[in-house]
Structure 1
Amino acid sequence: MAEDTIIQWCDDTVNPIMGCSGCELFRKPRQITTKIDQALIKLKVKGWERGTAWKLFSDLIDEVFQKIDTPGIGHINAVTTTNIFHLKGEFSERVARNHGGDAGAIAQRIIKRSLKCYAAKLHLNRGYNIQKPNRKVKKGYAPTFEQVTQFPGRMEQAARKSDLLGQPRSSKPWMNGLPRLIFVSDMGDALSHRDDFAFLCNELEHTQTENGKRHLWLWLTKRPEVMRDFGRRIGGFPDNICAMTTVTSRSTLSRVEMLRKTDAHVRGLSLEPLWSDVADQLDLTGIDWVIVGGESGAKDDVAAFPIEWALDVQTLCREQGVAYFCKQLGRCPTRNSEEFSLQDLLHGGDWDEWDSDLRVREFPEQFHTYRQSEI
């Protein structure tokens, strides 16, 4: 659990489950190797064909795995996204030796750009590493990001946090007076597997205790169809839980419809990282909150973020009566197709650096009215 998180729209985070079974921010291994194949075939690399990247990685991983004296739970002899990332350097070197430097550089770039998820990056740095089998594993993380892992007791611990209703937040004044806002699942997707429903039902009970009801719980998933089914199982989400999903581009807009079918008092969207203009296709019927943000990370690996996209969504929210929250401008914000730099290089989240038309951080009316009679 992270207290005093830098995430601009919450006070804390909690993860009853760590890890994720994959999404557009953490590509499946077959997607990565297929993209490498496509690029090197297009480059006309001699002898490269469909399936070559998978075969090379499979051989490399087996070779490295066989050198481990006592494999741990996270040391897996298989082509996984985690193994691909840990071995990307050696893989690229072998490709370069056998097929030329350009081929190796392209393969490495594709692999690096297939990982956009900060939670996955933390797991890569703190979990099991097949290339460094003796590295100490950080307690509290899943063995690898793909190995979705339950952590009972975390929701109960979060529920015991102090009440913030009516209190100021000196570093986040836009949250002044609200109940404590707890972001559920910033380090994975708790709805990766339906097999975890029974566990999640037990964990969710802590949000409805005397302690838990003091707070608002903001539950984000990239699997709103699973959230819908879980909501049906529990008879609908309680009124202090905001059901949320992520949309990153036009290709994931279908998640909004799935979220609309989720039985919840409050629903929100996280459009972060936003990779395309979605305002003209975004239907906010049944949606109470929209968060927008550009992509964080190394400049060479992130997409540009035209702030016109954020302003278009802001206008749409105004027209449809939806609360709008601009979280960050990302590493490469642009205006009128011109890139501009910010002191907060990685995230672009310091709104004191922004133009006034961008400085909007609102919360749903339901957040303001929840427990209002107690003030």
Structure 2
Amino acid sequence: MLVRAFAVMARCPQHTFLILTKRPTVLRTRLSKPQFVAAVRGLVAAAAPELTVPWPLPNVQLGVSVEDQHHAWRVLELLRIPAAVHWVSAEPLIGPLDLTRIVGGRRSVVDGLAGEIHTAGGDLLGACPAAVRWVVVGGESGAARGIRPMAADWVRHLRAQCTAAGTAFFFKQTGTRLAAELGLPRKGSAWSDLPAEFRHRAYPDVPALPALSRGGPS
């Protein structure tokens, strides 16, 4: 199924596809296998033999859901997967999240926005294979009972991290609880309802997608 999905995306370079997962280890294992890439190219060749398939696909952006600091390890797995753009969906955000200080292996600390690995003391150890280029933030929505809150300061902190790193920041929605605290209509979904400080909806800069490649080496 995943091979077929990537083959379809490979045949549609005029579109940009966003993939979001909570299981980046599984995705990394699948996508890192040469057999997977070969299978995708094989399906494309069978349907459109004139096309070549670059890898990673330039029109596919890979993301992970990270709801709080406890789950920030998913970013480390994400950055090990080759992709045109790596992004994080902090929705629903249910706790503070610092993407610049993710605990890695051997007591290292990873700055996922800068794509750097540091010691606990702050000394630079090396670079990650990639960096997060887009962060989407939103609160949990639905009936008020049982909805987990999202503190405005958590959003402000993430936005400050992204601003300092030059990472695109997209505020999607307040969610039910924060909307009520701010005196907004449910979820504050209308752009005009949001306070000015939350009107941030930026997208990552990406190279122009190539036209369909016909012939030549892959």
User: TM exceeds 0.5?
Assistant: yes
1:237 maps to 56
Report the TM-score when normalising by structure 1: 0.42
Tell me, what secondary structure is at the counterpart of 2:188? coil
Q: CA deviation at 1:332?
A: 0.7
2:196 maps to 356
The percent of aligned pairs where both chains have the same amino acid is: 28
2:148 maps to 303
2:87 maps to 268
1:118 maps to none
What is the letter of the counterpart of residue 8 of structure 2? H
1:339 maps to 181
Cα distance in structure 1, aligned partners of 2:78 and 2:94: 20
Unpaired runs of 5+ residues, structure 2, are: 38-54, 103-110, 116-130, 212-218
Report the TM-score when normalising by structure 2: 0.71
Cα distance in structure 2, aligned partners of 1:203 and 1:255: 22
Q: CA deviation at 1:242?
A: 0.2
Higher relative contact order (CA 8 A, sep 6+): 2
- Change in CA separation of 1:231 and 1:237 when aligned onto 2, cut-off 3 Å: farther
Q: Which of 197, 216, 221 is the equivalent residue of 2:21?
A: 221
Check the 8 A contact 1:231/1:237 in 2, yes or no: no
Cα distance in structure 1, aligned partners of 2:169 and 2:152: 14
What is the letter of the counterpart of residue 288 of structure 1? R
Tell me, what secondary structure is at the counterpart of 1:331? helix
Equivalent residue runs for 1:96-175 within 5 Å: none
Q: Which of 255, 262, 266 is the equivalent residue of 2:74?
A: 255
What is the letter of the counterpart of residue 351 of structure 1? W
Cα distance in structure 2, aligned partners of 1:317 and 1:372: 28
Alignment RMSD (CA, Å): 2.0
Q: Once the two structures are superposed, what CA deviation does each residue of 1:214-246 show, in whole Å capped at 9, x if it has no partner?
A: 100000000011111122124453110001100
Q: CA deviation at 1:348?
A: 2.7
**Residue correspondences, number:** 166
Q: Once the two structures are superposed, what CA deviation does each residue of 1:146-187 show, in whole Å capped at 9, x if it has no partner?
A: xxxxxxxxxxxxxxxxxxxxxxxxxxxxxxxxxxxxxxxxxx
Instruction: Specify which structure has the higher proportion of helix.
Output: 1
Tell me, what secondary structure is at the counterpart of 1:325? strand
2:160 maps to 315
Q: Once the two structures are superposed, what CA deviation does each residue of 1:332-356 show, in whole Å capped at 9, x if it has no partner?
A: 117xxx922322x1x3322211111
What is the letter of the counterpart of residue 240 of structure 1? N
Tell me, what secondary structure is at the counterpart of 1:365? coil
Check the 8 A contact 1:332/1:341 in 2, yes or no: no
Unpaired runs of 5+ residues, structure 1, are: 1-198
Q: Does 1:370 align with 2:215?
A: no
Q: CA deviation at 1:300?
A: 1.3
Q: Which of 201, 217, 240 is the equivalent residue of 2:3?
A: 201
Tell me, what secondary structure is at the counterpart of 2:56? coil
The higher radius of gyration belongs to 1
